[in-house]
Amino acid sequence: MVQPRTSPLLIDAGIYSIADKYDIFPLKVLARIKFNNFPPSYIVPHDQAFAAAIHTVYTSTPDSDRSLRDDCVLYAKESIKRLKKQESFNQALKDVPDFMFDVLHGVLDQQKRPEER
């Protein structure tokens, strides 16, 4: 997968990963805030950057750290109809099985009746 290295999403995901590695909690918080402050109008034309950020988030943070992982899954669930048409997103699903698993469960949970949740 070609990674758009100058994408702010990818940079913020990388900073989050480094902050986690060196246990710099305030930097993790700031990186997460910045990661989530991109309006959909920015992300839509940069779906390849979102796909690259998924790869970074899922390969550079521990499984136990759900923060950015849950953020990626939430955005994917909210935008699934558009994203499923994007090759970069489909490739991210193939390349990052844990992300695919999380998205699948998130979408299925959305479809449950209230008494099943």
Over residues 46-95, the pLDDT tens digits come to: 678 889 999 999 999 999 999 999 999 999 998 899 899 999 999 999 99
More confident residue, 8 or 34: 34
Q: Name the residue with tokens 């994007």.
A: 86
Longest dimension (CA), the chain: 45
Q: What is the C-alpha to C-alpha distance for residues 75 and 103, in angstroms, rounded to an integer?
A: 10
- Res. 104: pLDDT tops 90: yes
Quote the pLDDT of residue 1: 46
Mean pLDDT for the chain overall: 88
Q: How far is CA 99 from CA 17, 57, 117, in A?
A: 17, 10, 21
- Res. 114: pLDDT tops 80: no
Model confidence, pTM:
0.85
